[in-house]
Structure 1
Amino acid sequence: MNTSFVYRKHKRISLSTNQLLVFTCAYITLVLNSPFILKTSSAIVTLNDYSILFLLSVPIFILSLSIFVQCFFAFRWITKPVLILLVLTSSLVFYSTVTYGIVFDYGMIQNSFETDRAEALSYVNFSAGVFFIILGILPSILIAKVKLTYSTFWGELLSRAKLLSGSFACVFLIAIVFYSSYASIGRNNRDLVGYLTPYALIDSMVKFANKNYLYPPLKFTFLDTSPTISNSSTTKSVTVLVLGETARAQNFSLNGYKQPTNKHTKDLGVVSFNNVRSCGTATAVSVPCMFSRLNRESYNKREALAQQNVIDLIHLAGVDVFWISNNNGGCKGVCNRVKSEQISTNSIKPLCDGEYCFDEVLVNTLKNKLHSLTKDNTLIVLHMVGSHGPTYYRRYPDNKRVFTPDCQRSDIQNCSQKELVNTYDNTIAYTDLVLSKIIAELSSLTVNSDVKASMIYVSDHGESLGEKGVYLHGLPYAFAPKEQTHVPFIYWADQSHNKDKLDCLSNLSKQPLSHDNVFDILLGEVQVRSKVYQPDNDPFNQCNFDATYRKVQHISINEE
């Protein structure tokens, strides 16, 4: 037994701290940073005239830079924990990037922090486990098993100084020789830095922590302390805003898509605006942005949450506002000051399974609300779970599978493109069914009554379904594909009160719109008079034939 123990001890790998650091950084650079190296190399070889030495310098530059950074964390007792954490984190980033094309910029970190447990678990699957074990856990075990050999304090310090100097010299030399080439590639391919594993993630997390936890809270700003309702008649008004999730416009047959994904609403007199852009590529950005007075270019979440949003103004004017959510991610702060209800995932069977509810559950809650209206003006927001992935197959009941074969798994990259698209299209078709049921409830409300009803449906962002190897959503807006930013926007109103308006809006359906228009469209739709209303930003305004209302809004703007 003693002989065996001596043998095992003898076989244990012994390395100096510098050697372990170099080997680990080489693994992270050459394996876990391969998406960055490949994308950078692809950008370089597309140049008309490029140097082979410049191409070869990329992995050397990243390796040297990584070694230089890690030298500052290579102290006796923290060397291994830091390197293991680096490998585990990098392996997760590598899987997400290779599998879904995810880039961990600030927006993605924000979205990750605001993701609920059920949504986060939907990304856990067999493929992710295998990747994590092989590329993360096994290398970490090797690092943990290595026996580090140390010299004297001054010997260690000198050794680390040599490695630090050598790596810095290499970085400096490459930067001097190829500065113009790196600068050119960087300027023309600003997305590349987002693939630098794991440092892009670390940088984004630091920025997120600074903005959300280290800055003092802003003083709340009131944009308008006295908005009012501008109804010119005794007609009651009910507006339902359906906030979609992860729906992309090009998969709506109302917009010309080849598959019949809108067979339930196509004959209901809806107007589909087919040229609408989102504010962001993730819910955490798009939802608070679209309800904010800030536009996409100036949007800042911290500032947006520290001022009134359009829901606040409508509520303050005296409109009965009610936010009903079937989205476990919450309203992102938008509904904090109005009545709201989060539908329990354990509520109605078989529409709910304990983790999610199908969106038809919203119709039941809406029906109850419509039968107990307390004010003349009502705004109801229905927040869907919609088409959120990667578990698209869980967004519609089995008996609502319109397109087959579909993809009944979360590791969607392992499904065929046809299966994946069919599954996603099933979510759109199911959303369409829910919208038709909402319209039916509103239509029944207007029959033989003086109630005026309308519905607006708009999605928060789109989705990538494997185009150019990209899946899901959340890419930085600057280089996000149109699949993630082109969103559906559908309008319905009862014909008895709105025929002329619907005809007018149909002629505007190809007009470019964005989430920036939602603020003013909502104010106009519920007829709230406010000094912050911008009629030029409300395309519906030119189709509002209520002369009294338009006059009141015009006077309101001029008074300011």
Structure 2
Amino acid sequence: MNSNRLPLFTRADNFVKDLTLTSNQLLLIVCAYIALILNLPFLFKSANAITGLDDFNWLFLITFPIFLFSITLLIQSLFAVKWLIKPILIITVIISTLMFYATLTYGIVFDYGMVQNTVESDSAELLSYLNLYAVVFFIVFAVIPAVLICSIKISYQPFLKELFNRITLFAGATLITVLIGTIFYSNYASVGRNNKDLIDYITPYKGIDSIYKFARKHYFYPPLKFQLLDTSPQIINKNNNKHVTVFVLGETARAQNFSLNGYNRLTNRYTANQDVISFTNISSCGTATAVSVPCMFSRLNKSNYDKRLATSQQNVIDIVHLAGTDVLWISNNNGSCKGVCTRVNTQQIATTKSNPLCDGEYCYDEALLQPLREKLHKLEYDNTLIVLHMIGSHGPTYFKRYPSNKILFTPDCQRSDIQNCTQEQLVNSYDNSIAYTDYVLNQIIIELSRLSETEDVASSMLYVSDHGESLGEKGMYLHGLPYAFAPQEQTHVPMIFWASAQVSNSTPDIDLTCLKNKSTNVFSHDMVFDAVLSITSVKSKTHHIKNDPFYGCKSASFVPLPLLESAKKIQTQSSGEH
């Protein structure tokens, strides 16, 4: 048969099968693909940084991709061993494509925190990113190149000649790297000094380095001895009246989309009528749940937070529980409590489809209300803390966070590849999720109000989100960027407090007028530990009164001033061990 009459794909397949390259040629082609295609986000960001220099040099800009290519070639040459060269190149292309997709589509970079967040995410959350666009992207940029690499024949030379050729290639790449680096040293220094985040975009080596560091720290370091920060915390309740605190742990809610904080859309139409106090200047400890949740409940502050250390010592939930408080953690977040609730009673909302509020993978946050009601009807202790962990506004499937009968803003984005929705649709979906969170918070307040009215129980609710979210601002989506250069959308979080009338009349009491006057002060997740102690009326030597927005608005006898020094000593010890 005439080969010209063969189908196009058959001829292409035959061409690839017949194509024979030396190992060096294969390295050159694949490294060029990794450096010049799969690193496009890094190259574009670098180009913007270079052209922004006062002494902008066109030659520096032109040689920059060559510099990246030569470094890629150097790294890959080190692992170009016979029989392993193809598997390693294929794995590198696959990892690079995944990172390329995440960075190009959502603005995500794979630093240590993102690796930790990814590893600790459940399968349902990871599958929420799967869509037709992602599948096609992966096939085009990873599967097809991987098949091509696998199909190409490699013509290996005798060992000594192969070794000589590899050394020659390595030496050539080294020479190019050194020459460009030397000639444009001042330019590289200037760009690096003013754009420290650039290194986080290098694909795939920054991600691989982060994976290595995460694995080394979490799987190879021996566990630390568990430390008791306070062995004798006490509940201060001179009137012996019952008190219930509901701590609502929000998910992916950013403060600027709350109408309580001045947003021009009525996203808080329910709680606006409940005389709540909204704290408008709260910053998160991290930009992802895996960091923010254990950090906010830890005595460690953002500046010295280390998860390994945090998990080896009491958190505020432990201390409140040790003081004699009945603690229950109810989660509608499949990512679990990140180790915070390990030593208290927990309840996970089942996502079974038999529950009309669930779809088999996720449940609407209204599912938290029934177990809350059941707990409120069976109060066995004078002091009770109930933590409700929401799914909140977790993306990219914002449209799955609110039922159809609670849609307020249309048209919304009914897909997971949110970058392909209009900005209006995306914001509408996100605002619907915030408005639904507000609805659930209002239902919690109603339950607590009913309890207070019928059984004269002092009750309060504190809502805090773990981190914020980017909705396409500056090309960024979702969350998880390194904190050093994360936008405010990912770090500015809401905090809402509500209390029944009995709280103002209890001992120790909370002066709500005083608290409102503090609502515009600058706070951070560092104060959550202390706020929980205050609200639950637990006195502990771990209490940092200067961190606590409630201190000064409570009975003066709640925390003796000498305890401040003890609290400072605890933090100094923790920092020293770290």
TM category, shorter:
over 0.9
Question: Is 2:421 the counterpart of 1:402?
Answer: no
The match for 1:132 is 138
Return the letter of the residue paired with 1:532.
T
Query: What is the CA-CA distance between 1:498 and the residue it aligns to?
Result: 2.3
Aligned position for 1:22: 28
Kindly tell me the number of residue pairs found equivalent between the two proteins: 556
Partner amino acid, structure 1, of 2:217: K
Counterpart of 1:362?
368
Following TM superposition, by how much is the alpha carbon of 1:366 offset from its aligned partner in structure 2, in angstroms? 0.4
Please tell me whether residue 510 in structure 1 is matched to residue 485 in structure 2.
no
Q: 1:21 to 1:338 in 2, by over 3 A?
A: same
Alignment of 1:116-515 (within 5 A): 116-346=122-352, 349-498=355-504, 501-515=511-525
Q: Distance in 1 between matches of 2:320 and 2:471?
A: 37
- Any stretches of 5+ residues in structure 1 without a counterpart? none
Q: Which residue of 2 aligns with 1:529?
A: 539
Instruction: Tell me how large the CA RMSD over aligned residues is.
Output: 1.8
8 Å contact kept, 2:460–2:497: yes
* TM-fit CA distance, 1:347: 6.8
Q: Which letter does structure 2 place at the counterpart of 1:61?
A: F
The one-letter amino acid of 1:67's match is L
The 3-state SS of whatever aligns with 1:263 is: coil
Residue in 2 that maps onto 1:94: 100
Asked whether the 8 Å contact 2:244–2:383 carries over to 1, the reply is: yes
Whole-Å separation in 2 of the counterparts to 1:315 and 1:391? 35
Q: 1:255 to 1:144 in 2, by over 3 A?
A: same
AA in 2 matched with 1:133 = I
For 1:287, the aligned partner's letter is V
Report the Cα offset of residue 558 of structure 1.
Answer: 6.4
Checking the alignment, whether the CA contact within 8 Å between 1:243 and 1:457 is kept in structure 2 is yes
Kept in 1: contact 2:17–2:153 (CA 8 A): no
Q: State the Cα distance separating 1:349 from its structure 2 match.
A: 2.2
Q: Distance in 2 between the 1:364 and 1:555 partners?
A: 43
Distance in 2 between the 1:199 and 1:540 partners? Answer: 46
Unpaired stretches in structure 2, ≥5 consecutive residues: 568-578
Report the CA distance shift for 1:131/1:559 in structure 2 as closer, same or farther (over 3 A).
Answer: closer
**C-alpha displacement at 1:183, in angstroms?**
1.4
Q: Distance between the aligned counterparts of 1:351 and 1:181, measured in 2?
A: 57
Question: SS state of the match for residue 487, structure 1?
Answer: strand
What SS is found at the alignment partner of 1:447? helix
Partner of 2:558: 549
In structure 2, C-alpha distance between the alignment counterparts of 1:82 and 1:547, rounded to whole Å: 65
Separation in 1 of the partners of 2:518 and 2:213?
41
2:178 is paired with a residue whose SS is helix
* 1:141-162 per-position Cα deviation (integer Å, ceiling 9, x unaligned): 1111111001111010000000
TM-fit CA distance, 1:96: 0.7
Deviation of 1:342 after TM superposition, in Å, equals: 0.7
Report the residue type matching 2:151 in the other structure.
K
Q: Percent identity?
A: 58
2:67 is aligned to 61
Tell me which stretches of 4 or more aligned residues in structure 1 moved more than 4 Å.
3-11, 555-560
SS at match of 1:275: strand
1: distance between equivalents of 2:16 and 2:96?
A: 31
Offset at residue 534 of structure 1 (A)? 1.2
**Distance in 1 between residues matched to 2:556 and 2:239, nearest whole Å:** 12
Contact 2:228 2:314 in 1 (8 A): yes
Structure 1 residues 178 and 559, CA gap change in structure 2 (3 angstroms): closer
Q: Distance in 2 between matches of 1:535 and 1:449?
A: 32
1:190: Cα distance to partner?
A: 0.7
Q: Distance in 2 between matches of 1:83 and 1:73?
A: 9
Seen in structure 2, the aligned counterparts of structure 1 residues 394 and 145 have a Cα distance that, compared at 3 Å, is same
